[in-house]
Amino acid sequence: MRAELISVGTELLLGQITDTNAAFLARVLAEHGVDLYFKQTVGDNPARIQQAVRLALERADLVVMTGGLGPTEDDLTVAAVADLLGLPLVERPEAREHIRTFFETRRRPAPASVYKQALLPQGARLIPNRRGTAPGVAITHGQATIVILPGVPAEMEAMVEDFLLPWLRERTGGQVIRSRILRVTGLGESAVEERIKDLLAMTTPTVAPYAKLGEVHLRLTAKGTPEAVAAALDEGERLVRARLGDLVYGVDEETLEGVVGELLRRRGLTLAVGESCTGGLITDRLTDIPGSSAYLRLGVVAYSNDAKTALLGVPPELLARHGGVSPQVAAAMAAGARRAGGADLGLGVTGIAGPSGGTAEKPVGLVYLALTDGVEERVEEVRFGAAPGRRAIKVLTSQAALNLLRLHLLRASRVPG
Amino acid sequence: MRAELISVGTELLLGQITDTNAAFLARVLAEHGVDLYFKQTVGDNPARIQQAVRLALERADLVVMTGGLGPTEDDLTVAAVADLLGLPLVERPEAREHIRTFFETRRRPAPASVYKQALLPQGARLIPNRRGTAPGVAITHGQATIVILPGVPAEMEAMVEDFLLPWLRERTGGQVIRSRILRVTGLGESAVEERIKDLLAMTTPTVAPYAKLGEVHLRLTAKGTPEAVAAALDEGERLVRARLGDLVYGVDEETLEGVVGELLRRRGLTLAVGESCTGGLITDRLTDIPGSSAYLRLGVVAYSNDAKTALLGVPPELLARHGGVSPQVAAAMAAGARRAGGADLGLGVTGIAGPSGGTAEKPVGLVYLALTDGVEERVEEVRFGAAPGRRAIKVLTSQAALNLLRLHLLRASRVPG
């Protein structure tokens, strides 16, 4: 099957919004092995919408359109397509009823203009909208099918799930293309590539690295029956893990803070964090995980030396002798956070996020991380350099600190306790 | 002038990346009053690239292409266009020299394939690449111009600045379309619209509201000479501010944390923050601003009652009587943070981010914010409901807390002191 996408909306051509719908739909098509050779974007103009559809019908058997289904005068997609195909618009009672109920349950008056959304081309299939008022439309035209979806991403995505996915599965003979992402942290992109160099030449699955801030994503992709694809992805994951081991922290949508939280929860351990340069980002990430109150006892953001002493008990002599950014102070912050929070583990982070405050000896991007469980302590020095900029240095530091914690928890869990 | 955009790259049609370049270029064209009616996306395939260019040349006098300028076999854009127009490729010594130097200064060997980027269509204008190796290309073809830019956003944007902007200014007779964004927080979208309803009908400038998480952006847009546009935007801003007053917290790229930081800095005041449900997000945002160490004394993330008592001095009786999520505890956290940090101002935040932990009396999304300067204290209750979800509740809460602080600092600064 060959598909073509048409995004409709003047706001896209004015650059007021980025077309994320197109990327979403492209992924859906790719996962089903549907070829997508062209994508068009047009404004809210009937003649140009028709020109785009005419062209797409010449070169594709599935045309997926998004946008222009709203209630305003600018929303012209359905009428333009109906006119092009010579189909009269007919009011669909179920669509009208859905719109009426939608407003009634929200106790808002339905503006008269909204009922225009109940007009569909004669003979078209109506795709219900469970998140909004405008129904989607599927039209069979000769050998081709035209699917028109709303531009609101949540509404569009629900219709893809409800209608387009089953429709595609029926027509692609059960062949799927699926990807799995292995998330790697603690090693740079080129070092990761070096270790898996030969795997990059595999075809089942293919392995493609993508560098992200503080991590590398390895995208494994395979095509075939769902069973064959699952087996290929499992085998690919096994091969990658054999090379990278603990550097793989998660799969697909897993986050580092989620993985760390799960390890803390399973081990029944609590944590306290003393942060300087990250300014609260570490606890912000940890507390994005529901239920994190079970293991996160305390966070202290101690930028100043006074706060480091008063709240984390960092001795003033230590600060005077080594400076706020030093392995000694990081360790004292970790121990102080652990003590103040009455936690099992203490994490301490100090560094220079910049852009100012760096010296030749202690440049911007220099960071010290410390972790203690009250018996052992581990201190790491990392140098990110000034180039990434303040926000990225904060993110990279939080990533390295959470990874230090993760590796400790993994090792700890190996000792039968 | 009429323009058309062509994005080249199979990764776009596989949905692996979102086409942010197109939105950027669309904005540049819109700002110069250039009509953009169509955008096409094609994969790395010479025949389809040529088909797209042929179509674009039929309907536009400026064709801007991005992507496919790299050194690999997949990078075919320049060769495909040259072939379509019947222009031989000629090596440009200045491009070759630039590539050689680029690798030399980075002490990396230049792969032989990279020199392919020095081949340009005969007669084309070379656009230097100050951030990478591949030069851009501008070709005059009859009445039309084809501009080919790299797909790497930083390289593309530099060439827009160096080449496309001056080129457009020369040809659009000094007419520009410019926007200014007024950032509003503390009032919902429909309430904002209600207050400026009549301004939404203006044409010079136009005013369009966009709802964002925790804020509303009002985009003012005007067209004309740079002087007329500046005057129209100033007048529009004056009218909006007359209606919304202090609710407008910033302009264009200003952030709430940046505005708050600047107010603290100017007033010479210091701050300490006691956070519960926001988990460090407030201090994370504040410390994204360079120089924030001058005014942020301390942050404490006290999820547990123990930590609220131990570090912020919240009396256990208060916690027992009113619960951790209460106006009394928020106020005690603000006062405790101020005291522990030795700061002028204390901000306290407690609430239920969910998804669990809510009750009928204290549902998910209930938040208390408190601010004290040691003399006066202010406590606010906000109810976001459970629907936004945990992360959004954290963001909305941090926004409300920073806005409470901003409004206090604005009022404070009105008293001559």
Question: What digits encode the pLDDT tens for the residues A54-81?
Answer: 999 999 999 999 999 988 778 899 999 9
Strands B366-372 and B345-351, bridge-based pairing: antiparallel
Q: Which residue has the tokens 């009652």?
A: B305
Question: What digits encode the pLDDT tens for the residues A268-283?
Answer: 999 999 999 999 999 9
Distance between CA atoms of residues B371 and B291, nearest Å: 22
ipTM for the whole predicted complex goes beyond 0.85: no
Question: What digits encode the pLDDT tens for the residues A4-26?
Answer: 999 999 989 988 888 999 999 99
Question: What digits encode the pLDDT tens for the residues B373-414?
Answer: 999 999 999 999 888 899 999 999 999 999 999 999 998 754
How large a percentage of chain A has pLDDT more than 90? 79
Do the chains contact at B26 and A14, CB–CB below 8 Å?
A: yes
A·B CB contacts under 8 A: 238
Distance between CA atoms of residues B97 and B94, nearest Å: 5
Do the chains contact at A43 and B37, CB–CB below 8 Å?
A: yes
Which residues does chain A have within 8 Å of residue B277's beta carbon, measured at their own beta carbons? Answer: 287
Do the chains contact at B15 and A38, CB–CB below 8 Å?
A: no
All structural domains of chain B, each given as residue ranges with its CATH number in brackets, are 2-172 (3.40.980.10), 176-251 (3.30.70.2860), 256-413 (3.90.950.20)
Q: Read off the pLDDT of each residue in A93-110 and give the average, rounded to a whole number.
A: 87
Residue B19's pLDDT is what? Answer: 93
Residue B413's pLDDT is what? Answer: 59
Q: Is B416 a residue whose pLDDT tops 50?
A: no
A contact test, residue of B5, B17, B19 with most A CBs within 10 A? B19
Question: What digits encode the pLDDT tens for the residues B193-223?
Answer: 889 989 998 999 999 888 888 999 999 999 8
Q: Read off the pLDDT of each residue in A29-41 and give the average, rounded to a whole number.
A: 93
Whole-angstrom CA distances from B339 to A333, B334, B342 are 20, 9, 5
Question: What digits encode the pLDDT tens for the residues B264-278?
Answer: 999 999 999 999 999
Q: Is A414 a residue whose pLDDT tops 60?
A: no
Which residues does chain B have within 8 Å of residue A60's beta carbon, measured at their own beta carbons? Answer: none
| Closest-CA residue of chain B to A391 | B288
- The residue type of B308 is K
Work out the pLDDT band at A360, boundaries 50, 70, 90. Answer: very high
Q: Is B323 a residue whose pLDDT tops 80?
A: yes
Q: Among A288, A296, A301, whose Cβ lies nearest the Cβ of B391?
A: A288
Work out the pLDDT band at B415, boundaries 50, 70, 90. Answer: very low
Q: Is A213 a residue whose pLDDT tops 50?
A: yes
Phi, psi dihedrals of residue A6, rounded to the nearest 5°:
-130, 115
DSSP-assigned letters across all residues of B197-229 = GGGGG--SSEEEEEEETTEEEEEEEEEESHHHH
Which of A170-174, B100-104, B376-380 is least confident? Answer: A170-174
Strands A62-66 and A144-149, bridge-based pairing: parallel
Q: Is A174 a residue whose pLDDT tops 80?
A: no
Whole-angstrom CA distances from B15 to A36, A66, A123, A224, B41 are 10, 15, 32, 19, 12
Q: Is A177 a residue whose pLDDT tops 90?
A: no
Which residues does chain A have within 8 Å of residue B281's beta carbon, measured at their own beta carbons? Answer: 280, 284, 287
Q: Is B146 a residue whose pLDDT tops 80?
A: yes
How large a percentage of chain B has pLDDT more than 90? 79
Work out the pLDDT band at A413, boundaries 50, 70, 90. Answer: low
| N-to-C CA span, chain B | 56
Q: Among B24, B27, B48, whose Cβ lies nearest the Cβ of A38?
A: B48
Q: Read off the pLDDT of each residue in A116-124 and give the average, rounded to a whole number.
A: 96
Residue A111's pLDDT is what? Answer: 79
A contact test, residue of B28, B300, B344 with most A CBs within 10 A? B300
Provide the 8-state DSSP code for B109: P
Across B225-255, b (16+ Cβ under 10 Å) vs e yields eeeebeebbeebbebbeeebeebbbbeeeee
